[in-house]
């Protein structure tokens, strides 16, 4: 396991704060109320470990397949439905939505190889990520991948806790399947908009792994 670069600064500051809190606690409380000082240490250490684990990148065998659309994120499948596209596309598409809790790995990966046909950031609200309107009203970043004349759209969507979406892709860029496309801090959601003829291989409630689980084939 490694730590994502987006976490370096946050972890560094958190470690400093952890140290300062416990130095003060030890100095003022350890002799008079050692139980309180110990509790402060345990709680702050737990929070620091959680923060470090949030930015983890586990070692995995990633899926590279020409006919596969792989999960762009870890999480839970909360929606699979036919929708009228509201951005870039003018037709109907199959939407697969993956909800990412704060406990999930938050690296986002390219679902296919190809060209980046579209990359657009949108300011917005911070509704809870599983809210139906979060896909169109929340802060989000939309990417469209093009391969052999077919296109796949992904949306990185901020949630109630996610206050920063990071995306590394630009229109015109060539990308490879499973490489990093971005990162979302804390709870959030990623939507996939797929062609109607794509064969969906996941169902509601499944827990795909980003870059590993095949969501659909085409």
What Cα–Cα distance (Å) separates residue 37 from each residue in 16, 26, 59, 142? 18, 6, 37, 47
DSSP labels for the chain? -EE-GGGHHHHHHHHHHHHHHHHHHHHHHTTT-HHHHHHHHHHHHHHHHHHHHHTEE--------TTEEE-SS-SEEEEEEEEE--SS--SEEEEEEEEE-TTS--EEE-SS-EEEEEEEEE--B---TTSTTHHHHB-EEEEEEEETTEEEEEEEEE-SS---EEE---TT-EE-TTSEEEEE-SSEEEEEEE-TT-EE---TT----TTTSEEEE-
188 counts as catalytic: yes
Quickly tell me which residue has 């990185």 as its tokens: 156
Quickly tell me which residue has 């949306």 as its tokens: 155
Distance CA 63, CA 185 (A): 24
Q: List the catalytic residues.
A: 188
């Amino acid at each position: 396991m490694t730590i994502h670069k987006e976490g370096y600064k946050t972890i560094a500051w958190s470690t400093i704060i952890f140290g300062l809190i416990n130095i003060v606690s030890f100095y003022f409380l350890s002799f008079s109320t050692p139980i309180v000082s110990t509790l402060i240490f345990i709680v702050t250490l737990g929070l620091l470990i959680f923060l470090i684990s949030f930015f983890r990148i586990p070692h995995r065998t990633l899926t590279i397949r020409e006919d596969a659309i792989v999960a762009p994120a870890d999480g839970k499948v909360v929606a699979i439905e036919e929708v009228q596209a509201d951005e870039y596309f003018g037709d109907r598409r199959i939407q697969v939505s993956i909800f990412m809790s704060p406990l999930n790995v938050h690296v986002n990966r390219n679902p296919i190889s190809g060209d980046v046909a579209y990359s657009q950031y949108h300011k917005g609200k911070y509704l809870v990520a599983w809210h139906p309107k979060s896909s169109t009203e929340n802060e989000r970043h939309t990417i469209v991948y093009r391969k052999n004349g077919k296109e796949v759209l992904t949306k990185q969507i901020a949630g109630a806790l996610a206050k920063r979406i990071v995306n590394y892709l630009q229109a015109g860029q060539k990308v490879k399947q499973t490489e990093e496309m971005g990162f979302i801090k804390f709870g959030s959601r990623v939507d996939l908009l797929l062609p109607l003829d794509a064969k969906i291989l996941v169902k509601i409630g499944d827990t795909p792994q980003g870059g590993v689980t095949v969501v659909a084939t085409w």
